[in-house]
Amino acid sequence: MPGEDAHPSVRHVHRRILIGYQDSPEGLDALALGRVLAEITDGSLTVATVYPWPRGLMTHEDLSNALAIESTDTFAKVRDLLPGLDVETVPVAEQSISNALGKLAEDRHAAVIVVGSCHHGAVGETFLGSTGASLLHGAPCAVMVAPRGYRDGPTERPRRIGVGFDGSPESWAALETAIAFAELEGGELVVISVADYPKYGYATVWTVLTAGEIQDAERAEMRRTQELALGRVPGSVNAEGRLLTGSPGALLAEASADVDLMVVGSRGHGPLRRTLLGSTARKLVSGSRSPLLVVPRGTSMDPLGLRRERAGEQAAA
């Protein structure tokens, strides 16, 4: 009938972005990155500030009033820094900042939690303090980390997207997410795979003598795996593969200097629908030169719903 939606099956994916904010340089980095992410994904912003207060010393009403008073100036500054955006602000009393953000992400059904790096790291690199590390070891959704000093850069929308890929289910989810970002921005995709050095326990003469052959076999296998990933990339996205040899975490961190956003998957063990860092991702988050997105395991091949939404829009066109 005239006037009805010609494509009723096309639905907008509601995407909640939770920013963990403290009134600090690292908090400003998280705020700047969260704003860019919201603009790219058409997401809704929730900004949370956690006050490490003990909860049992006040009534619920007194605590709510104290939080409202304490956070007034902080959230006024947040709104000034995010002009034109509809922002939900939430003050939380909780002694563990990571626990508070995790619980709030579950309550709000957040797709991503955005945090800043620890102030001890070098400018332009990610370096997690205890809050970020705890969050990445059990967040109920994807986690994005802003490198130190991100707010002082151009903070442009990412057009060159890197993804760490090793053929695991978690890396396939990271690939789908990276493809979606490249599609949204009309950007480029760099699929980065790393053939690790052979590991020896009590090496025999045979294993030592054939180390080069083992390494060559590892590279050949990883190249085949990478070709499968590149075959998944739509023709509309300009993609390249980069095959490296060495320590995956260190090499991915080094490669992040050449991209605007690095996407990786969580470790393949631990609770489903949670982020959980393995050794590779742990090294990467301690030295990434670009914003880093860690997607949770066990959710879907498209954990942020970006490709699903885009496919619906293309079908409706």
- 93-145 pLDDT, tens digit each: 988 888 899 999 999 999 999 998 865 444 444 444 455 555 666 678 899 99
pLDDT band of 179, cuts 50, 70, 90: very high
Look up tokens 């002694």; give the residue: 95
229 pLDDT band (50/70/90 cuts)?
very high
pLDDT computed for residue 316 by the predictor: 55
Mean pLDDT over the full length of the chain: 80
Q: Give the Å distances, CA to CA, from 316 to 2, 12, 149, 256.
A: 17, 12, 41, 36
pLDDT digits (tens, 9 = 90+) for 195-224: 876 555 544 444 554 555 666 788 899 999
Q: What are phi and psi of 107, to 5 degrees?
A: -65, -40
Would you place residue 313 in the very low, low, confident or very high pLDDT band (cuts 50, 70, 90)? low
Domains of the chain, start order? 14-157 (3.40.50.620), 158-290+298-317 (3.40.50.620)
Average the pLDDT over each of 41-45, 52-56, 105-109, 249-253 and give the range with the smallest value.
Answer: 52-56
Please give the model's pTM, rounded to 2 decimal places.
0.83
Q: Any idea what DSSP says for residue 273?
A: T
Q: What are the start-end ranges of the H helices in the chain?
A: 25-41, 60-81, 97-108, 130-136, 169-185, 205-209, 211-232, 248-255, 279-285, 306-316
